[in-house]
Amino acid sequence: MTKQSGIYRQAHRGGGASHTPEIYDSRVYRLNAPGLIEEVVIQREVPEGHVVVEPSVASICHADLRYYTGNRRKEVLAKKLPMALIHEGIGRIVKDSGSLGAGQRVAIVPNMPGHLRRRIAAEQCCPVCKNDPGGNYCHNGEFLGSGVDGIAQSRLVIPEECAIPVPQDVPDEIAVLTELCSVSYQALRQVEPRLHQAQIAVFGDGPVGYLTAAVLHRMFHVEKERLLVFGAIPEKLRQFEFATQSLVQEYDFAKKGRVCDMAIECTGGMFSESAINQAIDLLRPRGCLVLMGVSEQRVPINTRDVLEKGITVIGSSRSCYKDYPPVLAAMKDPSFRAMLRKLIPADRRIIRSAEQFSQAMAEAAAHREWTKMLLEFQWH
């Protein structure tokens, strides 16, 4: 094995193999236990059909914070740690590969189906991939920062299809929101035929609620008169200028029920129960309830009214590589970028060490702002 400029090249051992994988040293900021992040160097082999990405800008998700603070079940932490966090990010291609040139900016797709990782036909992967090769539910899939090392590392090896070129006129601070926007897009495209005429309610005034409402308005052309957003904090709710707004604590759901055809729950956590049941009150018969908020606990819901109204319930919390190009294309629209900028803070956190990364995570956990915390990785 020979080393050249930090790249290890495996020597052939006979057998006529057509692909000689390269191996890169990756500096990995691993969460070894809640609150404890340390740097380790791991050799990453580059299989055929994969690319090497140097992450540049990332954002912190509540899912990352649940791992960092230990707010997951003990058996989950025991199974998944140690692990590098972060699944929302962009980077640059390290070396020419296929259609991607060195230095190309790419959005990183964290959801990697088994057929892409193994370079096999989708129908050979699992029953899910046989019917939906771009879907979320592959039996053999992996997700960055959830069981496998995430974006917080200097050399990320992913299938080429999971590195999506970023248009030149989409700046880094907008492109880093692609993953989160794609999650909203994935959920909404499942119900797209219903969106054209429906009265729609979005529950949640946080980033997920904001981006879901923004995607509804800009990508699915749901006008303000058909888009009602419920929130609990007036300062946050005022950011939804493109939607009708209502404070959830001031709305009489018992008296004003049955006014919407679709409700989208984006709250998660301790507010899931109230939001879901308020949405059920709001929905007309044969309405549709889309669940996007993540909760660690089981959530009691009013199944009686779900049955009486014939409500369809759909769950969606991730996206796939097919959802990224439409989102990035939409980001070329200056008006959409202006909407997304409301979630962008004035400054990025410079990350040069595991200690700085841990400090950023701790601050994000202690002060959960409406805007996203952006991390700028500097590896050199």
Domains of the chain: 2-110+145-177+344-377 (3.90.180.10), 182-315 (3.40.50.720)
Task: Give every CB contact of residue 380 below 8 A, 6+ residues apart in sequence.
Answer: none
At residue 68, the pLDDT reads 96
Residue 18's pLDDT is what?
60
In angstroms, the CA 137 to CA 133 distance is 9
Q: What is the mean pLDDT of each run of 10 residues along the chain (380 residues)?
A: 48 50 95 97 95 97 94 92 97 91 97 93 91 80 95 97 97 97 96 95 96 98 96 95 95 82 93 94 96 90 96 94 97 97 94 98 91 95
Query: Global pTM?
Result: 0.91
- Contact criterion met (CB below 8 Å) for 261 and 245: no
Dist CA 369 CA 150 (whole Å): 23
pLDDT of residue 5: 43
3-state secondary structure of 364: helix
Q: Which two tokens stand for residue 54?
A: 């140097």
**Close Cβ partners of 38 (under 8 Å, ≥ 6 residues apart):** 29, 30, 32, 354
pLDDT (0 to 100) of residue 8: 56
CA atoms within 13 A on the CB side of 123: 0
Give CA–CA dist 151/108, Å, rounded.
Answer: 8
Tokens representing 112? 């990697």
**How many of the other CB atoms lie within 10 Å of CB of 99?**
10
Q: How far is CA 354 from the centre of its chain?
A: 23
